[in-house]
Chain A
C-alpha cells in the first residue's frame, strides 16, 4: 500500500499543504546522499522525491543535470538507488518515497524486475518524465498492477481536452508543472497557480502538487495557498553543490545546508492555513 494518500490526507486534515522535496540519489556521493535523505523528514519534508540519475536528463535544467552527473560520477546506479531506499526504510516506515527519472535505466533494468525490487525496497510511487499516457503499456499499467502509484505530470500545454487522458491512470497525486520549461529555470507566475490547480481539480479528486521554479520559502508559501503540495528540487541540489569543497566533495556543512533550507520551506508551507 502506498503511503502517499495517507500523508496527503493527514496534512489536508491538519489544514496545510504537503512539502515534497527532491534530491538526486547518490548526490554528491552515496553515503552523504543517504544522510541527506534520512535527515529530510526531521527537517519537515512530507514526501521524498528521489531522482534516479540519468546521463541525458532532457527535461532538466543545469542544477539537476549537474546533480545527476555528480551522482553518476560517484558510482550511483539504479540498483544503488533502490538500495538507498531500502536502507532508509529500516529507520523510517512512514515517509512516502517517489522515484523520479527517465525511462531508459528502468527499461534496461527490466520493468518487471524493477517493479518487484522497488516495492521490496519500500518505494511508493514513480514519476517517469518521458512516459506520457500514450506509452502507458510500458510502465504505468504494470506499476499500478504492482501496487505502486504512477504520478503524472500535467503542464500548461495539457488542455482540458487532454487532461482526462493524462489523469486516467494517475494515482497518488498529480504533479502540476507550473511553467512550460525545464526544471530550475523560470520562476512561475504564482498568481496563476491557484487557477491552474482549480482547473485540474475539476477533473480529479487526487491531491495536486505544484513544482518547477519553486526556490524560496516565499515561493513555497505562495504555492501552498492554492495547491495540496509544494515541490522543491533545483534549489535543494544547488544547495548541495554550493556546500561542496573545491574538489567537489561533501563537507561537514553539506547535510546541514540542505536541512536548513528544508526547515525554512516547511515552516513557510505550514504557516499557510487552509
Chain B
C-alpha cells in the first residue's frame, strides 16, 4: 500500500494540533488582526514554558500544596451495587465497577483550577498584570479570581447576566476574592456572550491583558494548552487505576460543556484501543425540543470564537442559544479536538437531559454522600444507563469534575423547594 486511505485509523489520536492549530478540519486561528500578534506571542511563550523544568516544577508544587492533587480515584461502591440491582431487575447479570475521579475535591471545587493555575503562571512569566476571563457556571471565574488573589493580579470576569442570576453563590465568591464581575447583557446573556465580551475587552486592552480561557475552545494555542493543563486528570487516573486494579480502565465517561474536563480525562487514553470513551453533552429539554446544548449531536461545523467546530446555528449561520439546566454546559459550541474525535469515531458522544441530570444528582447525593455539580450529573446520568449493560469486571471511570454547592438553589427550584 502506497497511500493511506483518508478514513483509515490514524497511528495516533494524540498528535494534534498541527502547526496551524488544526485537529483535522477543526480548530485554527479565526481571530481579528489585532489579536493575531498576541496569540502568536502566547504560543511562543507557552511552548517555552512547556519545555522549562522550572515552570513544570512550580506547576507541580502548586498542584500538590495549593490545589490538593492528586485527587482520589474512588470506588463508588454503593452506586455500583445499585446499578447491579438495576441490571438484575431487567434480567442482566452484569453491572460495571464504577470509579469516580474526584476532581470536585480540588481547591475551588472543580477541575477548572488545573487549567487556571497553568495559565496564571504563564501570564506571570509573560509579565501580564491584568487577567480577564469568561465564565458560565462561575467555576472558571472563581478559579481565576482565586489564583489572581494568590498572585496579586487584577481580575475581571465576564459573566452572562442570566448566569449571574442562577449562580449567585459563585458571583459572591468572586467578589470576595477581589475580582470585578461584569454582567453581560448582549445576545443571549449566557456563556457565549460572556466570551464575546471578553474578546472585546482583550482587543481593547492588548498590551497588559492576559485572556484566561476556561475551556478547550478559542483560537490556537488555547485548545491544546488548556488540554495539556487538564491532562493531569487522565494521567493520575491511569496511574491510580494501575495501582487499584493492576490494569487500565475499560471505559471513561465525562460531561462536556466546552470539553476541558473531558479531554483532560480522555487524552492520555486515546491511543489505548481497549478503552471505550464516552462524552456527554447537555440535551436540555430533549434533542427534539430544539432547547439543548448538544453541539455534536445537534449541530454542524462552523466558525466561532477563534476556531472551527460543531456549532448550534440556524440555516443562515447565525448562532443559536444553547439551553441547559447547567450553566457550565450552556454553550452552543464544543472544543475543536472533540469535533475531530467525533468525526474520527474515537469517542462516542451521548447526551443527557435536564431531568436525567437532576435524577442522577439526587441519586449520587443519597447513595454516595457526594453532592455533584450539575455538569458531572450529566455524565452520571449516562453511567446509570451504560453500567448495567457491562459485565461485572468492567472498570468504568466517571469524571466527578465539580461539586454541587453552587447548584443547590437551582436544583431546589426545579424540585419545587424540596
Please determine whether A132 and B32 come into contact, CB atoms closer than 8 angstroms.
yes
Asked whether A108 and B302 contact (CB < 8 A) given A65-B186, A181-B203, A182-B200, the answer is yes
Please determine whether A59 and B203 come into contact, CB atoms closer than 8 angstroms.
yes
A208–B168 alpha-carbon span in the complex (Å): 49
Q: How far is the CB of B78 from chain A (nearest CB, A)?
A: 45
The 6 closest A-B pairs by CB, nearest first: A108-B317, A105-B317, A181-B204, A55-B318, A155-B34, A77-B316
Please determine whether A56 and B192 come into contact, CB atoms closer than 8 angstroms.
yes
Please determine whether B36 and A132 come into contact, CB atoms closer than 8 angstroms.
yes
Q: How far is the CB of A78 from chain B (nearest CB, A)?
A: 6
A residues near B (Cβ < 8 Å) are: 54-59, 61-62, 65, 72, 77-79, 102-109, 129-135, 152-159, 162, 166, 177, 180-182, 185-186
- Please classify the interface of chain A as helix (H, G, I), strand (E, B), loop, or mixed, using the class held by over half of its residues: loop
Q: Which residues of B contact A162 (CB under 8 A)?
A: 36-37
Q: How far is the CB of B308 from chain A (nearest CB, A)?
A: 8
Please determine whether A132 and B31 come into contact, CB atoms closer than 8 angstroms.
yes
B residues near A (Cβ < 8 Å) are: 20, 28-38, 186-187, 192-193, 196, 199-200, 203-207, 300-306, 308, 311, 313, 315-319
Q: How far is the CB of A144 from chain B (nearest CB, A)?
A: 18
A109–B399 alpha-carbon span in the complex (Å): 38
Please determine whether B29 and A132 come into contact, CB atoms closer than 8 angstroms.
yes
Q: Which residues of A contact B204 (CB under 8 A)?
A: 180-182, 185-186
Residue of B nearest to A77 (CB): B316
15 contacts between A and B (CB under 8 A): A56-B192, A62-B186, A103-B303, A105-B318, A108-B313, A130-B306, A135-B28, A135-B29, A135-B30, A152-B33, A153-B32, A157-B33, A157-B34, A177-B34, A181-B204
Residue of A nearest to B30 (CB): A130
Please determine whether B316 and A159 come into contact, CB atoms closer than 8 angstroms.
no
Q: Which residues of A contact B31 (CB under 8 A)?
A: 130, 132
Q: Which residues of A contact B30 (CB under 8 A)?
A: 103, 130-132, 135
Contacts beyond the supplied A108-B313, A132-B29: 13 A-B pairs with Cβ under 8 Å: A54-B318, A59-B200, A79-B316, A107-B308, A132-B30, A135-B30, A153-B33, A155-B32, A157-B36, A177-B34, A180-B203, A180-B206, A185-B204
Residue of A nearest to B196 (CB): A58
* Most central of A56, A106, A181, A186 by chain B CB within 10 Å: A56
A77–B316 alpha-carbon span in the complex (Å): 6
